Amino acid sequence: MLFFDDGRNMMGTKYNISTDTLFYRTHSLKPNTWCNTLFMASLLFCVLIIGACHQAGTEDVTSEPKIEPAKSHPQAAIEDATQTPAETSLFDGKTLGNWKITDFGGQGKVYVKDGSIYLEQGNDMTGITWAGPLVRMNYEITLEAMRVSGSDFFCGFTFPVNDKYCSLILGGWGGSLCGLSNIDYYDAANNETTRFVSFENNKWYHVRLRITPNRIQAWLQEEGEEPLVDMDITGRKIDTRAEVDLSQPMGVATWQTAGAVRNINLRKLTE
């Protein structure tokens, strides 16, 4: 028992603080000490509040979706057909105007001279693409085209057929082959539109192209004569060869050949 009492006394003496002692020490603090303690606690509390608000504000800003400027679609520049006059010239004979040089890569020079657009020989293609108002159905295009030099097509005219595209090829595959590319995935050399014409260099050829809902027609002669192409396209797959995709929606291109075009006109047909 004596050992136990001594142990309690030792433990109480070494580790415990009596109630009287605690009360005395607490109430013996000086007023200045209390003020300092309260000030530091208040300051710490304010710092914590400011830090929390700053973090919340930062999260709100970074989590807000970014607004990016609208990107224009390539077709946005193409106006509705109802805004196009019934008959209009697509080339004024002085500047390229709405015709843009097609970036085929390896293209030759393109320039206007003597009322014509000249397309110098490229490696492999040179061309121009229309960036103005577009008619997609029930229309005629007329132009004059000339081979200056070379032995392949001097006029690959790509045009819209409603929401599809096709190309009229003049003088391809050695200089004389004509036809439409593509019909049911076959190009002008491998479908029923294949024709052969002996073209001369530095001679202008009058071209007339007519697009109606079920038919594509093309002439090299004046009206009233037999068409070069007269294709019923009902149920047929219409597209272009990959090489001339950059000519869409409408354009003129040459293949390893120098050519020229002039007097390009469009006429809307009455339905």
Query: What does the DSSP assignment read for 184-223?
Result: TTB-TTSSTT-EE----BT-EEEEEEEEETTEEEEESS-T
Strand pairing report for 99-101 and 177-181 = unpaired
- Which one is predicted more confidently, 19 or 127? 127
Residues 93-138 have pLDDT tens digits of: 999 999 999 999 999 999 999 999 999 999 999 999 999 999 999 9
Strand pairing report for 195-196 and 164-172 = unpaired
Rounded to 5°, angle at Cα 179 from 175 and 182: 120
Lowest mean pLDDT: which of 71-75, 126-130, 231-235? 71-75
> What is the dihedral angle through the alpha carbons of 159, 119, 243, 104, rounded to the nearest 10 degrees?
-110
In this predicted structure, the answer to whether residue 200 has a pLDDT above a threshold of 60 is yes
What integer is the mean pLDDT of 4-18? Answer: 39
> Cα–Cα distances in Å, from 232 out to 183, 216, 225, 236?
10, 7, 18, 8
